[in-house]
Amino acid sequence: MSRLSPEQIARHAHDAGFRGEDLTIAVAVALAESGGDPRAHNPRPPDDSYGLWQINMLGSLGPARRRELGLSSDRELFDPRENAKAANRISGDGRSWTPWSTYTNGAYRKHLDEARRGVKALGRTNSGGGSGGGSGGRGGSGGGFSVDVGVLRDYARRTQNTADDLTALGRTHVREVREIAEDSFGAVGKQSGFATALDGFGAALRKQVKAVAHNTDALAASAAKSARAYRDQDDDTARSLS
């Protein structure tokens, strides 16, 4: 089988369930991973990857994923339809592309323009000449901007994790600073005023950490809200492909 065009890849990705900006990302990742070759195979550890989206079946991943995906052999992943279904399942319906190194290292971005053209061409095919596409009306040709919803969602998740870590820090480690005075310096620390100063420092530090945690939590919530808004907008646009 020859290399597939971005539009052909978009068709398989769409049939597997990808929509909106995630459909565009799916096509770009496939182009970055395999160059559009449905029979691409990388047997070199830490990979044993197959097909358009280079689904990794190395070692214990193989049996687990075959069970999960209902495959009888890894070679079934050379079928673009099965490969697209596997990519959709592994990515959580496009919610997280972190299992693909071409996504995490940004290599897929080089293919976003041709991916958008492929999705747009698919939209014209489906709508009989309409203006469908996965960029949600935010693509580059109109002087606007493109939002990578997957990256925004990952940023929101990481930011929320940071906020949670800061909150835990404020409740435990910073509080320990205040306890050093009594545990380590005893009466001398109290008489010299050092214990009071250290206690005040601990209280101030905890207040600062709490404020940063609150602001980080608010940032995470805002990023998550924006991701949902863009996803909803993309879903509305993608209905022309349904």
Residue-wise pLDDT tens digits, 87-140:
999 999 998 999 999 999 999 999 999 999 999 999 887 655 433 333 333 444
d(CA 122, CA 133): 7
CA 57 remoteness from chain centre: 21
Overall average pLDDT of the 213-232 stretch: 74
Q: Which carries the bigger pLDDT value, residue 184 or residue 91?
A: 91
- Residue 160, pLDDT above cutoff 80: no
The residues, ordered by sequence, that sit 6+ positions from 23 with a Cβ below 8 Å of its Cβ are 10, 13, 14, 94, 119, 134, 238, 241
Q: What is the 3-state secondary structure (H, E, C) of 159-208?
A: HHHHHHHHHHHHHCHHHHHHHHHHHHHHHHHHHHCHHHHHHHHHHHHHHH
Instruction: Determine what percent of the chain is predicted with pLDDT higher than 90.
Output: 41
**Cβ count near 171 (within 10 Å):** 13
- Residue 207, pLDDT above cutoff 80: no
Overall average pLDDT of the 26-31 stretch: 97
The residues, ordered by sequence, that sit 6+ positions from 96 with a Cβ below 8 Å of its Cβ are 150, 153, 154
Q: What is the pTM of this model?
A: 0.55
